[in-house]
Homo-oligomer: A and B are copies of this chain.
């Protein structure tokens, strides 16, 4: 599909682009590419998979920001999608991004078996036992007390699933062995958890300008967070702990995994 020439609803494309190209860390595409490179896979395919994942991530942000969800006016220092284009178009821009992501994946230049494997992974991680479930649990958790175990489950579903998916989908841009998949899955789980704990900590102590969103907003909504449940110091220790476990998971790859190792530190010390 030639996106530029065929589009019949230009406003939709404009709204999709608005949030897709509003910055962000691009962690998922970076993970997909690094993993494909680690296993000597096809980098062009990995970049396309990364783009698809970024679209899925962006759709979830647009929908999460809506008044009936988190009701956020700003994201990455800019007005949220529905504040600019209205709720109707914002919902459809999210729908369009999700659907287009699968279109990109279905048109990858990889053996069909591996394309199918990648779509299985991504539709699983982004779906009703992954990211969407996470957002439901998140919504439900706003108005009642939840414990640490449940909090970890929410994070595993919401953030963990997309990290895991980004890394394993990158692996299938190569021809991975089972033990490599196992190690990468472990790395992905601990990396995702580290990311989320740091995110919670930043929400409490982070600098509003650097984050581009209002800090303390999770607390306002009465959301469960690591600092709230176990205190700021314990949350920091927990992040160090999960980071160490992520490092250990990469042992089998030796020096080849240097980029993925550095990424753990980047996530651990990030300020925004």
Hey, which bits of chain A sit against chain B, CB under 8 A? 1, 3, 6-9, 11-13, 16, 59, 63, 66-69, 86-89, 91-92, 94-96, 98-100, 102-103, 105-107, 111-113, 115-116, 119-120, 123-124, 126-129, 132-133, 135-137, 139-140, 153, 157
**What is the bound-complex CA distance between A63 and B63, given in angstroms?**
12
A132 B88 Cβ-Cβ under 8 A:
no
What is the copy number of this chain in the assembly? 2
The 25 listed contacts between A and B (C-beta, < 8 Å) are A8-B153, A9-B137, A9-B140, A12-B128, A16-B128, A59-B95, A63-B92, A63-B95, A66-B88, A68-B87, A68-B88, A69-B91, A89-B136, A92-B132, A95-B95, A95-B132, A96-B127, A96-B133, A99-B126, A100-B128, A106-B120, A112-B112, A112-B113, A112-B116, A116-B116
Contacts known (A98-B98, A133-B9); A88 close to B126, Cβ less than 8 A: no
In the assembled complex, the CB of A215 is this many whole angstroms from the nearest CB of chain B, namely 23
Partner pick for A69 among B88, B94, B127, CB 8 A cutoff? B88
B128 A13 Cβ-Cβ under 8 A:
yes
Give chain B residues whose Cβ lies under 8 Å from the Cβ of A105.
Answer: 119
Residue among A99, A107, A127, A129 with most chain B CB within 10 A: A99
Give chain B residues whose Cβ lies under 8 Å from the Cβ of A126.
Answer: 99
B103 A127 Cβ-Cβ under 8 A:
yes
Give chain B residues whose Cβ lies under 8 Å from the Cβ of A100.
Answer: 123, 127-128
Give chain B residues whose Cβ lies under 8 Å from the Cβ of A1.
Answer: 124, 129
In the assembled complex, the CB of A191 is this many whole angstroms from the nearest CB of chain B, namely 21
**What is the bound-complex CA distance between A257 and B107, given in angstroms?**
31
**What is the bound-complex CA distance between A133 and B157, given in angstroms?**
30
